Amino acid sequence: MGNLVITDLHVSFGAFKILKGVSLEVGRGEVVVLLGPSGSGKTTLLRAIAGLEAPQLGSIRIDEKVLFQGDRRLDVPAEKRDLGLVFQSYALWPHRSVFDNVAYGLKLRGVDKLEIATRTHDALKELGLSGLAERFPHQLSGGQQQRVAIARALVYKPPVLLLDEPLSNLDAKLRDEAKAWLRSLIVDLQLSAVMVTHDQAEAMALADRIILLSDGNVVQEDTPVGIYNNPANIFSAEFFGTNNRILGTVVEILEGGRTRIRCEASDIELVGETRGNYRVGSAVVAVVRAERIQVAGAGSGPNRFPLPLAHSMFGGSRWEHFFRFGPSLLRVYGERQISGDDHWLEIQPEHLWIFDAPEAAS
Quote the least distance from Cβ 233 to other proteins, whole Å: 34
Quote the least distance from Cβ 194 to other proteins, whole Å: 13
Quote the least distance from Cβ 117 to other proteins, whole Å: 18
- Give 88 or 230: the residue with its C-beta nearer to other proteins: 88
Sign, CA torsion 54/159/201/219: negative
- Give 152 or 209: the residue with its C-beta nearer to other proteins: 152
Quote the least distance from Cβ 181 to other proteins, whole Å: 21
Phi/psi of residue 258, nearest 5 degrees: -115, 155
93, 137 in Cβ contact below 8 A? Answer: yes
- Give 68 or 323: the residue with its C-beta nearer to other proteins: 68
- 162-182: b (≥16 Cβ within 10 Å) or e: bbbbbbebbeeeebeebbebb
- Give 80 or 311: the residue with its C-beta nearer to other proteins: 80
Binding site residues, other proteins, CB under 8 A: 50-52, 54, 75, 77-85, 87-89, 91-95, 104-105, 108-109, 149, 152-153, 156, 162
- The strand pairing partners of 193, in sequence order, are 31, 161
- Give 147 or 260: the residue with its C-beta nearer to other proteins: 147
- Give 86 or 345: the residue with its C-beta nearer to other proteins: 86
**CA–CA dist 352, 259 (Å, integer):** 10
Quote the least distance from Cβ 216 to other proteins, whole Å: 21
Quote the least distance from Cβ 303 to other proteins, whole Å: 51
- Give 53 or 350: the residue with its C-beta nearer to other proteins: 53
Quote the least distance from Cβ 13 to other proteins, whole Å: 9
- Give 54 or 180: the residue with its C-beta nearer to other proteins: 54
Quote the least distance from Cβ 95 to other proteins, whole Å: 5
